[in-house]
């Protein structure tokens, strides 16, 4: 049976990059046959979060976002990572068969250290806990962006090392990468990759004046509308590509490329982007407001999801314990 698993870190309000890079794919995948599990990675968030109340609020926000955007608890299991402590047990077993060299090659660790984040053991061993997250449930497919593909490959290496030593205890998963190239790096308002830590993101549920202000922050230049432009040089068009049908997007690009009296100015592009964001997320925004007024509904989904996921993880950990000689 196909078992699809992915997680998202609970580090604050989710933005357009999170939606197009992960959430939209997760919601669509639940229509496919098989089991689908999505976890809120609050253990992972501890590598940088030091505020307990904020950590809890962020985990709740991720749940609100997924449910509002269409994740159906009848089709997919949504749960908090910390509701399955078995993944920490499995992480220790996996750490004992993982080489230091493998962890030292992790792109995410090197990138975060290069950006000035003070390293800790949790950050260094992040790929081992991620491997435990994936392997605990017998996952066969892991939908990830290209920036996370290495972690799935590391999980494959770790699982194969464990199985080589102790027998076929763990299922070796395969990554699933989005086919749309323009989703590989959703831009921030400054043109760099959208990230909360860079301060260049747009919240999925932004609305009204705050949404207008966010769109107005998107970098433009002083070229007049009538000047012909290469569409790839216009950051606003990279945002519109995420939302518009292909034929309409092509028309906007052609008008920008041609220039002249009928060419749109940056103001026109911003207005169309605001309209597209409103149309895409308006219904989900209403569902989110309903869920905010009914917190018990969200907690019930997470509790039931945690119970289901934990039973599967317990079976995997017990099997690995026996193989190692601990039971």
Q: Which residue is associated with the tokens 């749109």? A: 264
Q: How many Å apart are CA 268 and CA 88, to the nearest integer?
A: 51
Active-site position among 185, 196, 209, 270: 196
Residue 115 annotated among the catalytic residues of the structure: no
Active-site position among 112, 146, 209, 212: 112
Residue 196 annotated among the catalytic residues of the structure: yes
Active-site position among 193, 212, 229, 289: 193
Angle of helix 149-166 relative to helix 295-324, nearest 10 degrees, comes to 40
Please give the backbone phi and psi of residue 80, each rounded to the nearest 5 degrees, phi first.
-85, 135
Residue 289 annotated among the catalytic residues of the structure: no
Query: What residues are labeled active site?
Result: 112, 193, 196
């Amino acid at each position: 049976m196909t078992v699809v698993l992915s997680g998202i870190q609970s580090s604050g309000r989710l933005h357009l990059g999170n939606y197009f890079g992960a959430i939209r794919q997760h919601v669509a995948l639940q229509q496919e046959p098989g089991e689908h599990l999505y976890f809120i990675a609050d253990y992972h968030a501890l590598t940088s979060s030091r505020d307990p109340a904020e950590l809890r609020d962020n985990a709740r926000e991720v749940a609100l976002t997924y449910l509002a955007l269409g994740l159906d608890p009848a089709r997919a299991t949504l749960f908090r990572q910390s509701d399955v402590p078995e993944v920490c047990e499995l992480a220790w077993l996996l750490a004992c068969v993982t080489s230091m060299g493998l962890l030292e090659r992790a792109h995410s660790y090197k990138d975060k250290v290069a950006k000035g984040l003070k390293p800790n053991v949790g950050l260094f061993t992040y790929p081992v806990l991620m491997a435990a997250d994936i392997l605990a449930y017998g996952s066969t497919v892991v939908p990830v962006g290209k920036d996370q593909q290495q972690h799935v490959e590391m999980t494959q290496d770790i699982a194969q090392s464990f199985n080589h030593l102790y027998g076929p205890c763990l299922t070796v998963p395969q990554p699933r990468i989005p086919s749309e190239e323009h989703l590989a790096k959703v831009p921030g308002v400054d043109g760099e990759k959208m990230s909360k830590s860079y301060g260049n993101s747009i919240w999925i549920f932004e609305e009204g004046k705050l949404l207008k202000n966010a769109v107005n922050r998107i970098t433009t230049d002083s070229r007049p509308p009538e000047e012909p432009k290469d569409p790839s040089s216009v950051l606003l068009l990279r945002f519109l590509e995420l939302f518009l049908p292909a034929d309409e997007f092509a028309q906007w690009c052609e008008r920008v490329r041609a220039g002249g009296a009928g060419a749109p100015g940056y103001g026109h592009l911003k207005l169309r982007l605001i309209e597209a964001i409103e149309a895409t997320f308006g219904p989900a925004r209403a569902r989110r407001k309903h869920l905010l007024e009914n917190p018990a509904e969200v907690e019930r989904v997470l509790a039931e999801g945690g119970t289901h996921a934990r039973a599967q993880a317990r079976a995997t950990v017990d099997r690995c314990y026996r193989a190692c000689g601990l039971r």
